[in-house]
Structure 1
């Protein structure tokens, strides 16, 4: 008993000694860990203090100045507190990031008389194949289908005849030079760059309507801004507006210059000095909070560059309009823009939490960063769609989302456009929308299919045989008419499970409307084509064709009716107005909602022989827009109103609505400092 007890006691004692030794060793190991944690905590506190100091004390473009963001919180001190709270709460806080894509160099990098980059253009090869020259796009440098097969079927398109754009343009001189304004501005804010060269005035004096591009390539320009101003930050814009109000100078905000509504064009009748305010230097992400999923960004940030920078940090804005390579955050807000993936991320109004706007009465913003407030009518919503008529947007607080785990493309083929429209309505009503879904009518489907990449020597025999088998199956087995076939392109985003579920649900629903899968590569190519269309417009203009697009939203019951009536009206007007050949009209359905959809019309005609091509073109487009209104459609879904469509505003918002808009304009801008002439 005692020996046993001694044994147990001895065993227990040995274990106790070993336990004590092990505990001491663990404590010794934990000591460095604890010290490391304390050191890390001290470093974090130091970083927070440094960050707050950086924002309080301006140093350079990579640090920031509290005055940039003070309007969001009322004062630099409250701003520093907010930054400290956000940074302390979230390990994902990031301070100022410059995502500038263009500065003043955009004047040299991009075309003055057409879309896009100077080094990127479309031409017809000797083999009658389209080629996109350059190196900026995946489709550059390769032949894209035998386009002549499609074009030869359209009367009036003759590539043997061309009308190259003029190399130079007579630039109208400065109409007004308010020297007192410039002198005071340079004294008040010497960091603002002032430019009055012909090249910069021309570049900032137009957008990208067919009217403007035609005049630049073949005609003259009646009015340009007298000067271009380049502010560097919010307080510079305040200085510009303050001086302009004192000297009665007209200001026109300028972001990416991608307006298709004459939105940045100078009113010909404007008798005051006109200063275009370019936000080319205001492209910084002021703060990104990955926990709150919020981003403060300057209004001049260009979409493509902004998105690339956000993706480095694992988040996305998800706003991808067709113009995102060149358009800016401020322009999106000012026109109530929409992107192709609005089903997942929303339209721009769904992303905006707050907007900072400099008006002639002072800066305006919400004064808080809460996700939603109930503080009377939303002043932010008033600025959404204001189109530069009430002030200059300088900063925007936007929601961001985590990057999706998975992205996939898809494509469907429908026997008719009608079947495709009914399918999209089904998708909307059952809430099956993927990130993006687009339905093309038969003409656009035929046009798009011609831009398949053709390898040297033509497609391989295996591919040719596969195409013939597909056509045989569709024509002989399914009974489809090849000329009626319509394509539908898809983008799926989310987790792998979500994408698989979306895809299964979409393809299951599509079968109910007679659709067949058409391959993910066709879907991906369809979206790549988005960035080629405007280059094609400029190319075809050199061959006597004017081509343009316009869009409108409408209720589901009138989608097919409006589609047919607009096409018929365009064709009848072209015949009546003496256009020799029938026009080319094609349509795609680009956005779906529970209650309706968006039709995006493309139309063009041969302008050879017309004395006033643009006048004829404008009449045809005007009448087409009237048909849309008669069908109770909108004057625009996401392009805005500008000066091009403002005559339709009274019908769109009514007499009381117009009175309210004018009263707001008179209250905020009694001198009409922001006199671009848009909307009202």
Structure 2
């Protein structure tokens, strides 16, 4: 036994944890009204592992012997459960297909290395055998970055880095920590926290994603306004490449030609397997607080977040939901009573008396960290900005709830799939001047796409990461469809959203990566010349496409590997 734990093969998270609606009395009426779905019906039974037709492993005796010599027999695994777990990520496309039993090409073996040296030997062995190697962290990717090419006939080796999960060292003076790439978010934070440090990187997938996965997909965390995206956090790294090891020292800055560090960031396993990284860490703050605010409109909230970014405030979180997502948030609240219920009713009466349209209320969260004095000063600056844009502070209560539940959201997707709705997310980033028009265009495009496929659905949005020049808009959408054609209809909506990002001046993805889901828009995002540079970089390092082929550089449709040779339409 390797001791490495994994998520459910058929859904998000761990067994025994699931989303429930019974304690949220407003949710079922909301979903019925907005999506046309009755969530009070029992969820359908998922397939059991024994119901799946799992193709036999194609691993040769020779490659098995080589891998066993490198990592030991206990760390070379080809049982059915491990192979299915490592077949796909957690995109809605992945989950629908695996729940149908449509596994496609399954890895032939899972290898669990225990050191960088073992990873290097595995990479070299796979290249020598002309096998395909796919790095695996937490398995949480939703862009198809773990997708096995549909018609790949070579042996497929999934390299699971779960045993590489330790904080190796901390440079207290520089504020740098060297951490193995397979460390999950909770594990690395626990190890850092024991010594008074934090990485400050908390993506939605925090509980089930790894440092190496964050780097490979250019991840962002909920507190990136203060701590930066993973591209800023990562200062140095070590990566096993064919025939050699790349080692980048953790320098604060350098002027040594094109950045090799930047080439690795977002490379999704196409250049090698990241085994460790040296990252910026920060001392645990004395005070950590999230305040909630209401705005009379999404436009007002966007302007306030822009002004906060330009101000002297140094917040950790600047988030505002549109009225659609705010209504959904209200619908997911548990039943309140007593004083809490009276306070909520009283607040709504006050807002209505001020002339607010209660259907347009937008909920915002702003986070503060630091010393008591620093937090007090930041809150004062933000309070003034919020007031200038007609907003109102509603205290820390909603913020505490947000803090507690922020990693639970992905469980809702399984709940909806069980009852006949496909829910997904798409995120982008654009300059401040383009955000509101982009938002309006995406809402219109998604609703037109839903009308085109003649299905009920819902789309909502929040601003989640702010920068000097612009911000990230994070859209969540659902389509009510329990038919065999659900993926085809989902594609119409997904493509409409992605194309509108590009047409409206945004990027195809802010932090979920490219994989195969987003690669069809890469040329529009980067220009043909940009794609040529990336393609030649990958080809130069990996001419036989042994390293996670078909990702980032890709032609064809989302979810369809370039190697499958399937027609685009």
TM-score (norm 1): 0.79
The corresponding residue for 1:163 is 44
The 3 A distance-change label for structure 1 pair 191 and 523 is same
Q: Distance in 2 between matches of 1:576 and 1:120?
A: 36
Asked whether 1:564 is paired with 2:440, we answer: yes
Residue 106, structure 1, aligned to residue 11, structure 2: no
8 Å Cα contact 2:184/2:206 also seen in 1: yes
Cα distance in structure 2, aligned partners of 1:166 and 1:185: 32
User: Is structure 2 residue 291 aligned with structure 1 residue 410?
Assistant: yes
Shift of 1:153: 2.9
Question: Comparing both chains, which one has the higher relative contact order based on Cα–Cα distances under 8 Å and sequence gaps of 6 or more?
Answer: 2
Residue 263 of structure 2 aligns with which residue?
382
2:337 is matched with which residue: 444, 455, 459? 459
Deviations 1:339-376 (A, max 9, x none): 1111111111111121111111310112x443223322
Give the aligned partner of residue 335 of structure 1: 217
In the TM superposition, 1:204-603 aligns within 5 A as: 204-366=86-248, 368-454=249-335, 459-460=337-338, 462-475=339-352, 477-579=353-455, 581=456, 583-603=457-477
Q: CA deviation at 1:336?
A: 0.8
In 2, Cα distance between equivalents of 1:465 and 1:639: 41
- Alpha-carbon separation, structure 2, partners of 1:189 and 1:114: 29
How many angstroms apart in 2 are the aligned matches of 1:497 and 1:451?
35
SS at match of 1:547: strand
Contact 1:441 1:587 in 2 (8 A): yes
Asked if structure 2 preserves the Cα contact closer than 8 Å seen for 1:192 and 1:231, the reply is no
Q: Give the Å deviation of 1:433.
A: 4.3
Extract unaligned runs of 5+ from structure 2: 554-569
Partner of 2:557: none
Deviation of 1:277 after TM superposition, in Å, equals: 0.2
Structure 1: give runs of 5+ residues left out of the alignment: 1-101, 130-142
2:511 equivalent to 1:638: yes
1:425 & 1:372 partners in 2: Cα distance? 28
Confirm or deny: 8 A CA contact 1:194 1:228 kept in the other structure: yes
Distance in 1 of aligned mates of 2:340 and 2:284: 36
8 Å CA contact retained: 2:167, 2:191 = no
Tell me which moved more, 254-263 or 553-562: 553-562
Structure 2 CA distance, aligned partners of 1:452 and 1:520?
Answer: 15
Q: If you compute each CA radius of gyration, which structure gives the higher value, 1 or 2? A: 1
Distance 1:544 1:348 in 2: 35
Q: 1:147 aligns with which of 12, 21, 27?
A: 27
Coordinate RMSD, CA, aligned: 1.7
For 2:293, what is the secondary structure of its paired residue?
strand
Q: Distance in 1 between matches of 2:376 and 2:29?
A: 37
Show CA shifts across 1:450-477 (max 9, x none). Answer: 33344xxx511x33332222121111x2
Q: Distance in 2 between matches of 1:278 and 1:104?
A: 12
Residues 223 and 145 from structure 1, CA distance in 2 versus in 1: closer, same or farther, beyond 3 angstroms? same
User: Normalising to structure 2: TM-score of the pair?
Assistant: 0.93
Counterpart contact for 1:171–1:198, Cα < 8 Å? no
What SS class does the counterpart of residue 106 from structure 2 fall into? coil
CA distance in structure 2 between the aligned counterparts of 1:363 and 1:320, rounded to whole angstroms: 29
Show the counterpart of 1:122.
19
**Contact 1:191–1:231 (CA under 8 A) maintained in structure 2:** no
Q: How far is the alpha carbon of 1:382 from its aligned partner? A: 0.8
Task: Give the count of matched residue pairs.
Answer: 551
Answer whether contact 1:172 1:223 (CA < 8 A) is retained.
Answer: no
Could you say what secondary structure the match of 1:540 adopts? helix
For residues 120 and 160 of structure 1, what CA distance do their matches in structure 2 show?
19
